[in-house]
Chain A
Amino acid sequence: MRPRRLRSPAVRRFLRNRAATVGLVLTVLLILVAVFAPLLAPYAPDFQNLRARLRPPSTAHPFGTDEFGRDVLSRVLHGARVSLLTGLVPVLVAAGLGSTLGLLAGFYRGTLDAILMRVMDILLAFPSLLLALAVVGALGPGLENAVIAVAIVGIPSYARIVRSVVIATREEEFVTAAQALGARDPRLLLKHVLPTAMGALSVQATLGIGFAILSMAGLSFLGLGVQPPTADWGEMLTRGRRYLPGAPWLLLYPGAAISLTVLAFNLLGDGLRDALDPRD
């Protein structure tokens, strides 16, 4: 008889949490939609049919059409790609840079730690959207600059989390043992110290994706992020509002898509936190 595979307590806790499971299922679905958007969408996202402009939802166009006669459903489906990508990239950049800074600050302490943490304090002194706007204000509007802006906003939280875990870990026996065995600093940091911060990092990153998607949609809504004609939910909203109250479908579907996506990542992040940190 094959032995039954034992699940770790964290996985069991996660699966028992209904909200977390809903978050996971929604996230997987969204990723599938993003990957298979070209197959799922009934039309190309930028296919214009000027004879079918601003049509309300129908069987031919379940989410209606926009002012150029483009199919809103197809644009919403393709928008999932842009949203997930623009949510993921700033988080990867911020988590990468933030973790590195946190590792260095927490491990070496001293002046380096003091300087790095003061810089993080200064970044945290700005309301997050304001800091993003400041960066876009300096660099200029556009997708790349918006991604840079949202990434910069995220850096301090990762740096702080990793730093606090590193400070707690560096005196642990397995770290001093590795040190005594002659492990060099980079190896010690990457192989022994960083893995202890992975739990906290994954929670922060999951919640961070939701926040990044929201921020990117906000910047695109303000005309400072994704530029037309790319199918993006924030950009669809900002154009759709010009056709109110006649064409409410231009508003409903992209907005619902943003909310659902952010909700999915928030549920998933909360669930991960509860599963990894059962003290609550």
Chain B
Amino acid sequence: MALFILRRLAALLPVLLGVTLVVFAMLWLAPGDPLLALVGESAQGMSKSALEELRRAHGLDRGPLVQYLGYIADLARGDLGVSVRSGQPVSQEVLSRFPATLLLAGSAMLVAVALGLTLGVLAAVYRRSVVDHLAVLLALLGVSVPVFWSGLLLMLLFALDLGWLPASGYGTWKHLVLPALAVGFSSAAFIARITRASMIETLRQDYVRTATAKGLGKSAVRLRHALRNALLPVVTVVGLQFGGLLGGAVLTETVFAWPGIGRMLVDAIGARDLPLVQGSVLFIAVMFILMNLLVDVSYAVLNPKVRYE
């Protein structure tokens, strides 16, 4: 197992380096002088010599490769640069927003797993019944309805119309309900789809027929024999969805004024605060990659066959 994890980690290294390269390249993709993108309006009105001084201080007078190596060295020290707007270290800003994003993604995942698994299993067990059609329809809507629209509809109904929950903000569990439902619903659609397909496949297997022939009760066969095996592909989707939620909560965080990394990223793009944009993108991408690693590892724990491939 340790060997498996080490091998996966080694395979991740080039991808992680590639991701840092993409984030580093954002500075050069940005129109105009990279120095202005890094320091913002504070450079305006500076004398030419002061600008050159600043350029040297940021290492922008050296070749791209040297600059990239410098960037990697900074990253290794946990230095993500300084936000143009606030003047605070980017790492500090990102970390201060991370708990909110993690809380939203985690709660949304709970909603998604509960809803998606239930729907998927019911649809597979009662195939071609009303439940199945309903589950398939919900799954289709979940992938077609934009999450910012379902979020706004939830807000309109439960906050503005009925007044049961706050429309936006952060702090109590009540603030969490609507954003978690909005994000959770769209992820539930994927989970329901995969669970249904996987469960249908498993219910056809010989060992399920054997268990039924042995006279085991229907629910025992379905839950203990079929569902357990059907869960394997579901784990992959759940993991990927969770990783995606960390980044994809951008829209929901904007709708509900949720103070997470996603909303900070959108604000930073609007304010042309490039260091903060780069830092947020890098942080979310690394979290996503690590989540994928965790999925691989859990998959290997659940299914020993994977370890030896």
Contact = CB atoms under 8 A, between A and B. Distances in A.
Contact of B281 (A133, A221, A260, A267): A133
B36 interface: no
Interface string A110-125: 0000000011011101
B161 interface: yes
Interface stretch (A36-44, A65-73, A240-248): A240-248
Contacts of A262: 143-146
Nearest to B291: A127
Given A126-B288, A127-B243, A222-B251, A258 B146 contact: yes
Interface string B177-219: 0000000000000000000000000000000000000000000
14 contacts: A125-B18, A125-B289, A126-B247, A128-B244, A130-B288, A134-B23, A135-B29, A139-B30, A140-B30, A214-B144, A218-B251, A222-B251, A251-B149, A263-B144
A244 B156 contact: yes
B149 A255 contact: yes
A251 B265 contact: no
Contact of A248 (B19, B156, B274): B156
A222 B146 contact: no
A98 interface: no
Contact of B152 (A121, A210, A222, A241): A241
A218 B247 contact: no
Contact of A127 (B30, B145, B248, B272): B248
A1 interface: no
B15 A130 contact: no
A217 to B, nearest CB: 6
Interface in B254-297: 254-255, 265-266, 268-270, 272, 274, 277-278, 281, 284-285, 288-289, 292
Q: Would you list the 7 A-B pairs with minimal beta carbon distance, nearest first?
A: A122-B18, A127-B247, A255-B149, A245-B160, A138-B26, A263-B144, A130-B247
Given A137-B26, A139-B31, 20 more contacts: A118-B14, A122-B22, A123-B22, A125-B18, A126-B247, A126-B288, A130-B247, A135-B29, A137-B281, A138-B30, A138-B277, A141-B269, A218-B146, A218-B148, A221-B146, A223-B266, A234-B146, A237-B149, A251-B152, A255-B145
A259 B251 contact: no
B243 A263 contact: no
A10 interface: no
A243 to B, nearest CB: 11
A140 B272 contact: yes
A119 B14 CA distance: 10
A223 B237 CA distance: 30
Contacts of A118: 14, 18
Contact of B146 (A133, A136, A214): A214
A127 B131 CA distance: 32
Contacts of A135: 29
Contact of B29 (A139, A241, A245, A260): A139
A133 B209 CA distance: 49
Nearest to B22: A122
A134 B243 CA distance: 17
A220 B140 CA distance: 23
Given A222-B251, A241-B152, A263-B140, A127 B284 contact: yes
A218 to B, nearest CB: 5
Interface of A: 118-119, 121-123, 125-130, 133-141, 210, 214, 217-218, 221-224, 234, 237, 241, 244-245, 248, 251, 255, 258-260, 262-263, 266-267
Given A121-B18, A122-B22, A241-B152, A129 B269 contact: no
B94 to A, nearest CB: 13
Contacts of B161: 245
Given A118-B14, A137-B26, A127 B285 contact: yes
A126 B22 CA distance: 10
Contact of A222 (B141, B145, B247, B266): B266
A237 B30 CA distance: 28
Contacts of B266: 133, 222-224
Contacts of A255: 145-146, 149, 152-153
A126 B284 CA distance: 8
B104 interface: no
Contacts of A244: 152, 155-156, 160
Nearest to A136: B269
A229 to B, nearest CB: 19
B270 A133 contact: no
B39 interface: no
A266 B141 CA distance: 10
B250 interface: yes
Nearest to A280: B197
Contacts of B152: 237, 241, 244, 251, 255
Contact of A137 (B149, B156, B277): B277
B246 interface: yes
